[in-house]
Chains A and B, each alone.
Chain A
């Protein structure tokens, strides 16, 4: 047992053992002498791969990481420079004149704090509701046999496939005259246009969430539920007590997606909201807002190059909160995955 673990496992373990002192090294030497040629060749090949691979891994990750990060670095660089720096050809990454003015102006133009509060409450509320409704639906599709299941699941796939743009116009009339017969009410510009679809597993990208949950529940061993059924647990309680705890990591993953998608959505909210402001909507309209609020006229001309500063600042502050949220969730998220990995 000890032999296997000290020779055959990952780099980290061997490194630790080397650090422990000479006695282990000597023991290894003795073991090496007793080995056959093929065993030695295997170990040599392995240690070569273990030495070269981290270097390649670093190069790959660093290069690709840079591709991802450079728009963000550029964003930060733009936010803290003065608009005149945009016309200076020597300024690429590092601003010549540092200033917080642009950042403050953008916060004012986007009415940032109020918008943030509205968006956060709406997003987290919708996401929570939607994750629960999608999980229930996904479980229904994964574990039960009923008539028309194929057809109904076809509809789920269609929900994923059909772009929102296609159904947004009829959906608008649906909400404008919501109800049956003559009993209709106008739901446009209320939060119900977001909450109602989320509650019934029809919100933003809910089709995909149902699919993910279905795939996930299908992959769990059936014995889990059978045990619960034999113990006299009803299907719904089985779902809550047995399946949900096993799906914790999956729940967190989907919740994370959901918050992000709601945060980023501007098409659906632009269709249904006229006065309710979300961060994404504000960022879309940043141009006009800037002109109205900062320069008090809709016709003022700012050169496109100089406008970039405010745009990048707007980008930065609109992804900052979700970035913070994500960093916190990321920790719970990976832990959730690892824990469920141990359980399975």
Chain B
């Protein structure tokens, strides 16, 4: 301890701080090398190779870009799934962010039954990442149970249909009812995808000092002004985290078709193809995230910096 201090004093302040910085992240650096970087490089290596299982280890044979060409030009599902997934993520992400901020603002207000309401809205956090959600979502293909899946979807659309009939607009027009039911289906998806985002926004909202609220009230700010001038700046650092999280969540969710395709390739022992697919996908995600971060970082407000 004393040794550290002595050598520390000789170093310039900036350098000493840098050393401490490395100290803080050293544990993570070791772990990342073993549990992340090496496996990543191996997987990249596989994508340029013909991979087969030898006795006791993997046998690789260099084939260059052949796997990538195969995946993009020959595989009949991959590009189609990829396009669908990217489009879906593009329109769903902003909706999830807006929705979760809206709900977080509501849940931050004082009203009777607030604790209950919060408990209900955070429920997807508990369920949506696990195998239970797969079963709820009617995705039973992994257990080979398609009948059950059919039953589950029938059940959910029936509910909307009954509601529409009850409202007396069912016979009005087919377009209208299909539109309403697609919205209803997506509401299910959006609500179930926003649990963590709501949680993070709510935590941010509760960190708004009461003095800011009082000041706004004394000045006679409307709810609208209060949202944009007080709530939004305080919440903005968390929008980046939430944006990234939402994008990742949609990319890695068990219902993602591209991921399903990759896993199917893996189960066929086509590790080379699977790795190539994963890498193409990953690079697109990386580009998208990079763009978002660049844009958002320009807009958000930090108390320090």
Chain A contact residues, CB within 8 Å of chain B: 4, 8-10, 12, 42, 49, 54, 57, 60-61, 64-65, 67-72, 74, 133-134, 136-137, 139-141, 143-147, 149, 152, 155, 157-167, 169-171, 173-174, 196-197, 199-202, 208, 210-212, 215, 218-222, 235-236, 239, 249-250, 253, 257, 260-261, 263-266, 280, 283-284, 286-287, 303-305, 307-308, 311-312, 315, 318-319, 322-323, 326-327, 330, 334, 337-338, 340-342, 344
Tell me the B214-253 residues at the A interface (CB within 8 Å).
217-218, 220, 223, 237-238, 240-241, 244-245, 248, 251-252
Assembly CA distance A74 to B220 (angstroms)? 47
Inter-subunit contact A327/B192 (CB<8 Å): no
Tell me the B263-288 residues at the A interface (CB within 8 Å).
263, 266, 271, 275, 278-279, 282, 285-286
From B218, B240, B282, A162 is in contact (CB under 8 Å) with: B282
In the assembled complex, B72 has its CB within 8 A of some CB on chain A:
no
Tell me the B62-115 residues at the A interface (CB within 8 Å).
103, 106, 109-111, 115
Inter-subunit contact B43/A57 (CB<8 Å): no
> When A and B form their complex, what is the total count of cross-chain residue pairs whose Cβ atoms lie within 8 Å?
283
From A65, A174, A284, B34 is in contact (CB under 8 Å) with: A174
Extra pairs beyond A166-B278, A326-B122 (10, CB < 8 Å) = A64-B191, A65-B117, A137-B27, A137-B28, A140-B24, A162-B282, A169-B271, A215-B240, A287-B145, A305-B147
Q: Which residues of A contact B129 (CB under 8 A)?
A: 260-261, 264-265
The DSSP consensus for interface residues of chain B is helix
Q: Which residues of B contact A68 (CB under 8 A)?
A: 120-121, 123-124, 191-192
Assembly CA distance A338 to B206 (angstroms)? 6
Tell me the B31-47 residues at the A interface (CB within 8 Å).
31-32, 34-40, 42-43, 46
From B21, B42, B135, B262, A144 is in contact (CB under 8 Å) with: B21
Inter-subunit contact A304/B127 (CB<8 Å): no
Inter-subunit contact A144/B18 (CB<8 Å): yes
Shortest Cβ distance from residue B174 to the other chain A in the assembled complex, whole angstroms: 24
Q: Which residues of A contact B199 (CB under 8 A)?
A: 253
From A147, A201, A215, A315, B136 is in contact (CB under 8 Å) with: A315
Q: A211-B241, A257-B196, A319-B132 are in contact. Are A200 and B119 (CB under 8 A)?
A: no
Inter-subunit contact A200/B21 (CB<8 Å): no
From B131, B207, B218, A283 is in contact (CB under 8 Å) with: B131
Q: Which residues of B contact A334 (CB under 8 A)?
A: 115, 118
Q: Which residues of A contact B17 (CB under 8 A)?
A: 144-146, 235
Inter-subunit contact B126/A57 (CB<8 Å): no
Chain B contact residues, CB within 8 Å of chain A: 14, 17-25, 27-32, 34-40, 42-43, 46, 57-58, 103, 106, 109-111, 115, 117-127, 129-132, 135-136, 142-148, 151, 155, 159, 187-188, 191-192, 196, 199-200, 202-203, 206-210, 217-218, 220, 223, 237-238, 240-241, 244-245, 248, 251-252, 259, 262-263, 266, 271, 275, 278-279, 282, 285-286, 289, 293, 302-305
Shortest Cβ distance from residue B159 to the other chain A in the assembled complex, whole angstroms: 8
Most buried by B among A8, A68, A261, A337: A68
Assembly CA distance A32 to B263 (angstroms)? 70
Q: A68-B121, A169-B266, A218-B304 are in contact. Are A136 and B24 (CB under 8 A)?
A: yes
Q: Which residues of A contact B191 (CB under 8 A)?
A: 64, 67-68
Show 9 residue pairs from A and B whose CB-CB distance is below 8 angstroms, ordered by the A residue: A8-B217, A8-B218, A9-B217, A61-B106, A136-B28, A145-B17, A163-B278, A284-B131, A341-B208
